[in-house]
Amino acid sequence: MKKVVIGMSGGVDSSVAAYLLLKEGYEVIGLFMRNWDSLVNHDILGNPDLNQNICPQEQDYNDALVVCKKLNIPLHRIDFVKEYWDYVFTYFLDELKKGRTPNPDIMCNKYIKFDMFVQKAKELGADYIATGHYARVDHGRLLRAVDQNKDQTYFLSQVDGKQFQNVLFPLGNLTKQEVRKIAEQQQLITARKKDSTGICFIGERNFRNFLKNYLPNIPGDIVNIETKEVLGKHIGLMYYTIGQRRGLDLGGNETRLFVVGKDLEKNVLYVALGEDNSYLYSDQAYINEVNWISEKRPEKCTCKFRYRQKDNDVTLQYLENGDLLVSYPQQVKAVTPGQACVLYLGDECLGGGIIDKIYKDGEVIPYV
């Protein structure tokens, strides 16, 4: 009997994934990861859970324990608090300092779930590892999930392709609705549990207050990029992202103003009027930190610059240093440095990289 170690999060997805693996005849072992410690990490400001009798992470562990007892499988627990800080959260803060918009979930998958977790699973004798991700694997190829609305291949784009040789995604052919129905039928306590939201493994936070725990606010001017008029003050460039229109605290025309760029040296936040203003659009992106999951290297494919964004038709130029120049003649709105560019050929996720610079009409857009 093949042994599978599954990441148990205390949510409905991993609960049903564990049940399905048992049903398929695997020997299943649960492994719960503890990746964040609010006290150790000075997570005070913006934390809505400080005064609760039990923190959400402990409640998740208790829920995972109840599910594992019902399924009659063991549950192990491992602490990756230091590793998460070193490899995921430090990256997150460093990117914010550069004025970029990072995606910690992608780095969490790369360094924690599909690296350190895998090492621990092997210590437990695993033939395979499994998670509750909505994705599919076919002969080592990473494919989109059947439920396109829940597909999570975008967040798996930085994982070493070799890892998918021994990974099982039991939910890949199911919809979220079907998963909850199975949980109800099996009377799992997580059946109606709300999906986790917020920063990976940290949870819901008041983002502005949360960042004050780690990064100083450096206020500066908000400037209309067309008229050069100073419209007001921002509270720190790290709190804003390209395409954002809410939270500018300008009043009046705020609903029609969109963030279109940042100047770190001058500490200026640039905005422009109108949802379709030209400053929001680009036609090329320079991609570094490229990770290939597939061996395919097409000239043309599709990509997503944001999770749940529709596919964009793109042409790839392969650079000698391994980076990519991605061209999209149908200009795309709010392509944002720091975010991921994830490549697809049909349903197959080829891999992806991080958006470093964006261009329009052959010129680098000179704002982060």
Q: Is 30 exposed, middle or buried (0-12, 13-18, 19+ CB in 10 A)?
A: buried
Dist CA 368 CA 351 (whole Å): 24
Residue 188 backbone phi and psi in degrees, to 5: -85, 135
108: annotated active-site residue: yes
DSSP 225-278: TTT--EEEEES-GGG--TT--SS----TTGGGEEEEEEETTTTEEEEEESTT-G
Q: Determine whether 301 is an active site residue.
A: no
Task: For residue 142, give the H/E element and its range.
Answer: strand 141-143
CA atoms of 32 and 35, how far apart (whole Å): 10
Contact (Cβ atoms closer than 8 angstroms) between residue 264 and residue 131:
no
Of the chain, the end-to-end C-alpha distance in Å amounts to: 53
Catalytic residue among 55, 68, 200, 341: 200
Q: What is the DSSP letter of 313?
A: E
Give just the sign of the alpha carbon dihedral 49, 51, 57, 63: negative
Mind giving me the DSSP string for 264-302?
A: TTTTEEEEEESTT-GGGEEEEEEEEEEEESSS---SEEE
Which CA distances in Å does 269 have to 224, 245, 252, 358?
9, 12, 18, 17
* Residue 348 β-bridge partners: 143, 345
> Residue 222 — left, alpha, or beta (φ > 0 → left; ψ -120 to 50 → alpha)?
beta
Choosing from 108, 301, 303, 341, which is the catalytic residue? 108
Indicate which residues carry an active-site annotation: 108, 200
